[in-house]
Amino acid sequence: MQFSGTIAQPVSVKLSSTSVTDILALAAGRADTATVYGALIVNQDSSARKVTLFWTENTTDYAIYESTLGANESVSIEFDAPIKLMAKSTARKIRAQAAAANVVTVTVLYTISSQRADE
């Protein structure tokens, strides 16, 4: 077996509601793996807003970051240990929630690795 990995185009999602929203999700059954290293969060509101990031396994959300960003502030987060999303075994995602709609954008920074047969 041979493994390869590439830096993936960052995924940016403006949170359009106050519900928990998928930011990065690998469909069950895929053979690749995403390794999430961090995120950029931007609050474009004139008020401070609470933002929460989650790592999700199947239907259970685990909060991995939570903070209140000031008006028009941004934060760069680097995870102490990278988070692996391996959809082949189970549905795993990075999700986010903000206290107001259409003012917070979350960008996930990750690489994609795929498994393929030797050539």
Query: Which tens digits make up the pLDDT trace of 67-94?
Result: 999 999 999 999 998 998 876 666 788 9
**Reported confidence tier of residue 41, pLDDT bands at 50, 70, 90:** very high
Residue of 10 and 76 predicted with greater confidence: 76
| Cβ neighbourhood burial of 110 (10 Å; 0-12, 13-18, 19+) | buried
Across residues 30-53, what is the average pLDDT?
92
Mean pLDDT across the chain: 86
Are 51 and 69 a contacting pair, CB within 8 Å?
yes
What domains are defined for the chain? 2-116 (2.60.120)
Q: Measure the CA–CA gap between 12 and 71, rounded to whole angstroms.
A: 19
117: pLDDT confidence band, cut at 50, 70 and 90?
A: very low
